[in-house]
Structure 1
Amino acid sequence: MAHQARNIRWEALTSRLKTMAHQAHNIHWDALTSCLKIHSPEAPTKVKPTNLYFLFEPNQDEKISRFVASFINNIKEHTACERKKYPEKFDVPDGNDLILGDAITQKITPLVYKWRQTHEWKEAIPYQRKSSLRRLCTHNDGFECGCAIPLQERKASSFLRCHTLNNCFEFYVKNKEAFYNLEVVKTLILYEEMEPILRVCAHPDVDYAEWETQGECCCMGNDCGWDTVYESALRAYLALNILYCFPALWDPASSSSSSSSSSRSTDYRSTELYQLMLRYCTSSDSTSEVGKYPHIAFFGIGDDRFRSWPHFKPVLRLKYMPDIDKKDMVRERHIPYGTVPFEDSLNSKVHTTEYLPDVSAVALVGDMLYSKGLPVELVDDVMEKADYTAKRRLVYAHDPLHPGNLEELQQYLKYCWRLMVNCNLMADALGTGIEWENVIYRFLAGHISSLGEKRIARPDIRY
Structure 2
Amino acid sequence: MDPLFRLAAHPQIYFSRMWRFPEYGSWLDVKEIALTAYLCLNMFYVKAELWDDYSRRKKLEDMKRRNQPSPPEEMFDYRLTSSYQHMLVESTGSGRWNYDCAKHPHREFFGVPRGMYTSDLAWAKRHKFGYVTPSDLANTMFKGTHVPSKTDVSSVLILLGKRGLPAELALQVLDFADYRPYGRLPIRDDPLHPDNSEELAKYLRYC
| Partner SS for 1:204 | coil
Residues 72-103 of structure 1: per-residue CA shift (max 9 Å, x gap): xxxxxxx5xxx5xxxxxxxxxxxxxxxxxxxx
Shift of 1:199: 5.0
Task: Determine the C-alpha separation between the residues in 2 that align with 1:234 and 1:400.
Answer: 16
Does the alignment pair 1:208 with 2:15?
yes
Task: Determine the C-alpha separation between the residues in 2 that align with 1:360 and 1:341.
Answer: 25
Shift of 1:359: 8.6
Structure 2 residue aligned with 1:408:
199
Shift of 1:205: 2.7
Unaligned runs of 5+ in 1: 1-78, 84-193, 216-221, 256-260, 312-332, 373-378, 417-463
- Partner of residue 300 from structure 1, selected from 85, 90, 111: 111
RMSD: 3.6
Structure 1 residue aligned with 2:84:
274
**Equivalent residue runs for 1:351-370 within 5 Å:** 351-352=141-142, 353=145, 355-358=147-150, 361=153
Does the alignment pair 1:346 with 2:149?
no
Task: Determine the C-alpha separation between the residues in 1 that align with 2:89 and 2:39.
Answer: 15
TM-score normalised by length of structure 1:
0.33
Quick one: which amino acid aligns to residue 193 of structure 2?
H
Q: Is the 8 A contact 1:276 1:337 kept in 2?
A: no
Residues 189-243 of structure 1: per-residue CA shift (max 9 Å, x gap): xxxxx4xx6655443232122111225xxxxxx3521211111100000001111
Unaligned runs of 5+ in 2: 58-70, 158-164
| Partner SS for 1:351 | helix
**Equivalent residue runs for 1:64-463 within 5 Å:** 83=2, 194=3, 199-214=6-21, 222=23, 224-253=25-54, 254=56, 262-287=72-97, 288-307=99-118, 333-334=124-125, 336-342=127-133, 345-348=134-137, 349-352=139-142, 353=145, 355-358=147-150, 361=153, 371=168, 390-416=181-207
| Partner SS for 2:18 | coil
In terms of fraction of residues, the more helix-rich structure is: 2
| Partner SS for 1:276 | helix
Shift of 1:356: 3.9
Q: Is the 8 A contact 2:89 2:118 kept in 1?
A: no
Larger Cα-atom Rg: 1
Quick one: which amino acid aligns to residue 40 of structure 2?
A
For the structure 1 residues 200 and 212, does the alpha-carbon distance in structure 2 shift closer, same or farther, using more than 3 Å as the test?
closer
Q: Is the 8 A contact 1:282 1:296 kept in 2?
A: yes
Residues 250-304 of structure 1: per-residue CA shift (max 9 Å, x gap): 122227xxxxx94353111111221111111111124221111111111112222
| Residues paired across the two proteins, number | 175
TM-score normalised by length of structure 2:
0.68
